[in-house]
Structure 1
Amino acid sequence: MSDPQEVAKAFVTHFYQSFDNNAQSLAGLYNDTSMLTFEGDQFQGSQAIVAKLAQVGKCFHNVKSMDVQPSAAGNAIVIFVTGHVRIGDAQGNPLHFCELFQLVSTGPGAYYVHNDIFRLNYGL
């Protein structure tokens, strides 16, 4: 398996650049078994996931941290991301978010997003 840190860094950069420019372009990262939990609502399959992400609208993500662990006997990677996001033309303070991905290998250097969990972090 490729170095999990390198895979995660490349994936996170690609994911958020793609999301910010054209959420529809994320379809190839998911498949029919993929699951997204977005603020508690679940979506399964590439089509449903990308439809939900596109529904969010224009976003501007700024990743602040990333933690990575190998998973499932070496054929998967877990990535936990924290950062800030601005949605639409929102001015003022950005929203804090966290997102967890599990990437599963489909072959040398090839992965798909099997699990994706997203939450906004509101101050209490």
Structure 2
Amino acid sequence: MFYTVDFNTVAQEFCTFYYQQFDADRSQLGNLYRDQSMLTFETSQLQGAASIVEKLVNLGFKKVVHKITTLDAQPASPSGDILVMVTGELLIDDESNPQRYSQCFHLVPEGNSFFVFNDIFRLNYA
């Protein structure tokens, strides 16, 4: 199958940008989502950029640092959608023990860019 974009490169660049922005100022992530976007964060399900950003901003911690362990990407449709699966660790505030997480993004092309159509986040407990 022929793809006009390198989905692995798009996924890598997206995740680098997403987590850097999340760790620096997660209130600025709204431009990555649209009104039809959905976030499942643990047990909460939200739809729309404003609701998603409100959830992310009010998570109850000030500082967070994400570290990607694995990143896998696949084409998700003939339209150019990309499915991205991330596992990693995050440090919250001044904790010294990282928490493991998994996150899945469904990226949809829009013009020369992509937006997050679906975002599923889970902490992975031992």
Q: Shorter-chain TM-score: which interval? A: over 0.9
Q: Which residue of 1 aligns with 2:90?
A: 85
Q: Report sequence identity in percent.
A: 43
Q: Which residue of 1 aligns with 2:65?
A: 60
Distance 2:64 2:74 in 1: 27
Q: Which residue of 2 aligns with 1:99?
A: 103
Normalised by the length of structure 1, the TM-score is: 0.93
- In structure 2, the residue corresponding to 1:2 is in which secondary structure? coil
Deviations 1:58-95 (A, max 9, x none): 2110001001000121420000000000112222x200
Q: Which range moves more in the overlay, 75-84 or 49-58? A: 49-58
5 Å-filtered alignment, 1:1-124, equals 1-56=4-59, 57=61, 58-91=63-96, 93-107=97-111, 109-123=112-126
Distance 2:90 2:50 in 1: 23
Runs of at least 5 residues in structure 1 that lack an aligned partner in the other structure: none
Distance 1:111 1:44 in 2: 17
Poorly superposed stretches of 4+, deviation over 2 Å: none
Distance 2:72 2:79 in 1: 16
RMSD of aligned alpha carbons:
1.0
Distance 2:77 2:70 in 1: 23
